[in-house]
Every structure is written in C-alpha cells, then in structure tokens.
Structure 1
Amino acid sequence: MNEQKVINLLGFASRMRKIIFGKDNIREYIRNPRRRSKFIIIASDVGDSIKEDTIKRCQSHHVPYVLLKEYTKDKLGRSLGKDEISVVGVLDENIVKGILEVVNAGGDSNV
C-alpha cells in the first residue's frame, strides 16, 4: 500500500474539513448507521489499548481501517495541520472510495 497516496487523499479531506478525530467522535462515527461510506486510519505508534479498541469497533461494525506503518501520531497530525492524531475518520464518500482503491491496490491492508 502506498501510504503517501493515502496521506495525500487525507490531506484533501482535511482541507475540505471532512475528517474526524478524537475518541468520542471516532466512536460515534464508527457506530453511526446513517453514514454509508466510512474509513478509519490508525497511526503506527498509537497505544495498544486505543488500537485494540478501535480495531474491535471497526470489525464489529464492518468499517474498513488501515494501520499505518510509516506515519506516527506526530507525523500524521502534522500532515493534517494538527499536533498529534492517533486515529482519523474520513467523512467524504469520494475520498473514502479513493483511499479504498489505494489500499486495495497495495494488497497488504486490513480492509
């Protein structure tokens, strides 16, 4: 998977204000049945409890996700104009489709 392409698409979503982060916001985003297209991106150095909680929620609600290998919380946050971001969700359906294409083309995803 080309993480740089995923981050570029995430940057577009950020500039459009179509990303979501923060524990409570992410939990609501994952379990919201009205939102059809969802995608979760998890930083490489996120804590085990946050990672396990997020992955379990994604699996139980059938939300695709990817665990980044090269992007730490700090690097992910800086690429989105924030300080540190552990987990981010994408709100724009077209960007979700684009990210899914990039992730599926790589073949080593958790989608």
Structure 2
Amino acid sequence: MTNEQKVLNLLGMAQRAGKLVTGEDLSIKEIRNGNAKLVIVALDASENTRKKLSDKGQHYEVPVTVRFTKLELSQAIGKERTICTIIDKGFAKKFRELLSI
C-alpha cells in the first residue's frame, strides 16, 4: 500500500472520528479559530479556492497541501468535497509523516 493510499484511508478514519472538517467555509472558520492543523485541497479545485486557502494557511501558519483529486478525497470520506481540514494534532502529525510535509 502506498503512502497516498494510507493518507486516503486515514482521511476516512479522521472523518469517522469527527476530526475532519470539510468544505471551504468551515475550513476557513477552523483556520481562523486556530483549530486547523492541516488542510488538504484537491488538485482540481479552482485556482481561486487553492489560492484563498494557501493564503489563509500562510497567514495563520497552518500547513496547506494540494494533493489528490476531488474524486479521491470524496471517495475517502464518503461525501463530495474539495477541501479537507484535519483538526486533530495526532491525525495531522501522521498525515505530515505520510505526505513528507
């Protein structure tokens, strides 16, 4: 199993554990509140969306990575989403190890 597959499996686990926030508005809210530990934006998200989240992440010092397709993220968490935000330190640490960020 590749690290990419492990990350997608872990996304599903984080979702079930309630440690994942999805969607642009909720993700930005969590970044502002200081709860976001890591943001994953789909490769096929609009350029505007990618820029907005990257800028927010930089401003609030939250790592933002652009990986996977919208389809891969959606299949991993069981609902159609372009943005996944991890709000748990433990999960975020594991994601960073697997993604080498």
Determine whether 1:61 maps to 2:57.
no
Q: Greater CA deviation, 91-100 or 43-52?
A: 91-100
Match of 1:108 in 2: none
Normalization by structure 1: what TM-score? Answer: 0.81
1:89 is paired with a residue whose SS is strand
Listed as ranges, the gaps of 5+ residues in structure 1 are 105-110
Paired residues for 1:1-80 under 5 Å:
2-33=3-34, 35=35, 38-68=37-67, 71-80=68-77
Give runs of ≥4 in structure 1 deviating > 6 Å.
none
Taking the aligned partners of 2:64 and 2:7, their CA distance within structure 1 comes to: 12
Deviation of the 1:2 alpha carbon: 2.9
Listed as ranges, the gaps of 5+ residues in structure 2 are none
Q: How many residues align?
A: 100
Normalization by structure 2: what TM-score? Answer: 0.88
Deviation of the 1:76 alpha carbon: 1.0
Report which of the two has the higher share of helix. 2
Give the root-mean-square deviation of aligned CA atoms. Answer: 1.7
